[in-house]
Amino acid sequence: MKLVFMGTPDFSVPVLRMLLEEGYEVAAVVTQPDRPKGRKRELTPPPVKVEALKHDLPVLQPEKIRVEDEWRKIADLEPDVIVTAAFGQILPKGLLDVPPLGCVNVHASLLPKYRGGAPIHQAVIDGEKESGISIMYMVEALDAGDVLSQRAISIGDEDTTGTMHDKLSQLGSELLKETLPLLENGRIEAFPQDEDYVTYAPNITKEKERIDWTMPAKAVYNQIRGLHPWPVAYTTIDGKRLKVWQAEKVTGPYSGKPGMITAFDETGLTVITGDNKAVKIVDLQPAGKKRMDAATFYRGAGNKLQVGAKVGLDDE
């Protein structure tokens, strides 16, 4: 079976590797253009391109796949199926109609929940106990196609977006490995998504990264682990940004306004939340400095930061 693979970030790489290991003919790999990264803004290829070049696969990097001259290059390869995994662009109808077996996508949620570009982040932020993979047909609407197969996986209380990303990436590869032969042999029947249960997970915005200490402790904790290891939640101290890489739940109750520092020592910075509970910051990064643990931050802060001081929006 000849296919074209379309993907961009680390999530997509195990899927591409599986296709190659299983002996599928990958006619081309389509990925996003190289982008500037880091302080030096050096032009950096996406992970899928790096992996494709290791295997001497042809790589296409259209800026806009919906431009006909671009998607025609893929159509001319006459793939039996197009496989996408976190490609990052919606395919035009002209391309969707090309492969006789269709275009199938590896989506990191149990559809119809969490359609959109940040399903892993949002599931952790929402405190979900379960996520999963859906192998689905691509259609012109966002993640709305019929589902070929699904598999669930639990989200532990200490899981982060990073740990779930790795688990779901591997699960997606395994489930696609089982699904493609069934699709090729006509032994699988897709089922429609129930529109009554649709939820969305749009891309993470800067506003979503800022911690609102008036929220309950559980919501603050979930936000911090849901944004770990990227893009990372933040708060402010004395008007300066403080990235919060990792936190712990602590038992309460506490008295004081949300955002007030109620304890500060080498084990962490304990901040009161909106439900008179608290969250302890244990891994953090002050503006202009490297990431550090709580003990290092405590020694560096000295007498500059006292119990009773406040973090958050009031300091901006």
Buried/exposed code over 280-314 (b: 16+ C-beta within 10 A; e: otherwise): bbbbbbbeeeeebebeebbeeeeeebeeebbbbee
| Residue at token pair 């039996």 | 80
The terminus-to-terminus CA distance of the chain in angstroms comes to 58
Specify the pLDDT at position 300: 85
Residue 30 forms beta bridges with which residues? 6, 60
pLDDT score of 40: 83
Judging by beta carbons within 10 Å of its beta carbon (0-12, 13-18, 19+), is residue 38 exposed, middle or buried? exposed
pLDDT of residue 305: 79
Q: What is the pLDDT along the chain (316 residues), one digit of tens a residue?
A: 999 999 999 999 999 999 999 999 999 999 999 999 987 889 999 999 999 999 999 999 999 999 999 999 999 999 999 999 999 888 999 999 999 999 999 999 999 999 999 999 999 999 999 999 999 999 988 999 999 999 999 999 999 999 999 999 999 999 999 999 999 999 999 999 999 999 999 999 999 999 999 999 999 999 999 999 999 999 998 888 999 999 998 987 888 999 999 999 999 999 999 999 999 999 999 999 999 999 999 888 756 778 888 888 654 4
CA angle at 64 for the pair 59 and 67, rounded to the nearest 5°: 105
- CA distance readout (Å), 16 to 5, 19, 62: 7, 5, 19
**What backbone phi and psi angles, to 5 degrees, belong to 74?**
-75, -40
Whether the CB-CB separation of 96 and 75 falls below 8 Å is answered with no
Strand, helix or coil at 150? Answer: strand
The Cβ of residue 110 has, within 10 Å, a number of other Cβ atoms equal to 21
* Whole-number pLDDT of residue 315: 46
Structural tokens at position 195: 């529109």
Specify the pLDDT at position 303. Answer: 61
C-alpha 293/C-alpha 107 separation (Å) is 35
